[in-house]
């Protein structure tokens, strides 16, 4: 197995384990971590294809993915903090009301 | 030869830290394991001749996003009592879906023609090339991502701040 094949299988494994983390965990921050892992697996694939071909397109696409991932993490943690103030919990199953109970 | 040993070392480190995130219950340990995973991924980027990407990964993920996540964990978990606990559920459907996705990805890769391409070694200054490309071919996405960062900054600050609805009363 060559180095690039191994890296491709590794990125597939990373994506699948990120999906598994996002599906199975109950804490909202750990779910965000799983999403970050999936984005990183996509980045690894892009860097790998950039290594195989001439040019810089893969690296730049990975750079833009990193920027979008940072925005997503910042807004996601802000939303989690806000919902923690309301529900006093960051467990996703307990965040179930759309409206304040009177 | 030395490069391959380092590559296997990085891959082993990140697989182990991913397993730590999956299997332990402490949210704080998960954040630290994610840190080691991201650092070893940046090492892999460096071995793939993407030096700028490696440094960006270290700066933004290991320096920025992880600190933000640890702040989030500290602020949203009660310190007293059962601290930092995170339960998990849906194990059987999750494992079913992810292993089938993994099988699909591997079979697709085996049947594709991607692996046949041999790498021509990119020589020259990669970081300089990234800068030139970023300012010429990819100038429009660069500007748009700046606007996106500004919007995200304002949105996150406004969402997390605790201003009262004074117009209501």
Burial of B129 per CB tally in 10 Å (0-12, 13-18, 19+): middle
Q: What is the mean pLDDT of residues A59-73?
A: 94
Q: What is the pLDDT of residue B74?
A: 87
What tens digit of pLDDT does each residue of B15-31 get?
999 999 999 888 889 99
Phi, psi of B51 (to 5 degrees): -70, -40
Is a pLDDT exceeding 80 seen at residue B79?
no
Closest residue of A to B158, CA-based?
A78
Question: Which one-letter DSSP state was computed for residue A53?
Answer: S
Nearest to B48 among A36, A51, A56 (CB): A51
pLDDT digits (tens, 9 = 90+) for A23-59: 999 889 999 999 999 999 999 999 998 888 777 888 9
Q: Which domains are assigned to chain A?
A: 11-90 (1.10.287.3510)
Q: Does residue B126 have a pLDDT over 90?
A: no
Find the CB nearest B69 among A33, A59, A82.
A33
Residues near B12 by beta carbon (within 8 Å), at least 6 away in sequence: none
Are the CB atoms for B152 and A76 separated by under 8 Å?
no
Interchain contact, B115 vs A63, CB within 8 Å: no
Model-wide pTM > 0.80: yes
> 3-class DSSP state for residue B81?
coil
| CB atoms B130 and A59 under 8 Å | yes
């Amino acid at each position: 197995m060559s180095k690039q094949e191994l890296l491709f299988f590794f990125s597939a494994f990373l994506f699948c384990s990120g999906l598994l983390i996002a599906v199975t965990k109950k804490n909202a921050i750990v779910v965000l971590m799983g999403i970050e892992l999936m984005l990183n697996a996509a980045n690894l694939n892009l860097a790998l294809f950039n290594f195989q071909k001439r040019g810089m397109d893969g690296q730049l696409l990975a750079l833009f993915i990193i920027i979008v991932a940072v925005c997503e993490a910042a807004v996601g943690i802000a939303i989690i903090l806000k919902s923690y103030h309301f529900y006093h919990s960051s467990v996703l199953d307990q965040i179930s009301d759309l409206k304040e109970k009177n | 030869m030395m490069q391959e040993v380092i590559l296997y070392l990085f891959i082993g480190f990140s697989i182990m830290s991913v397993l730590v995130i999956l299997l332990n219950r402490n949210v704080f340990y998960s954040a630290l394991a994610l840190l080691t995973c991201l650092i070893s991924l940046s090492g892999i980027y460096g071995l793939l001749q993407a030096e700028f990407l490696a440094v960006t990964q270290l700066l933004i993920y290991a320096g920025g996003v992880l600190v933000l996540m640890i702040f989030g964990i500290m602020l949203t978990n009660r310190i007293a009592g059962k601290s930092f606990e995170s339960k998990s559920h849906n194990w059987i459907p999750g494992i079913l879906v992810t292993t089938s996705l993994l099988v699909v990805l591997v079979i697709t890769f085996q049947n594709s023609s991607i692996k046949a391409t041999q790498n021509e070694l990119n020589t020259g200054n990669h970081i300089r090339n990234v800068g030139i490309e970023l300012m010429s071919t990819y100038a429009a996405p660069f500007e748009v991502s700046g606007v996106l960062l500004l919007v995200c900054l304002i949105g996150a600050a406004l969402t997390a701040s605790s201003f009262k609805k004074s117009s209501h009363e």
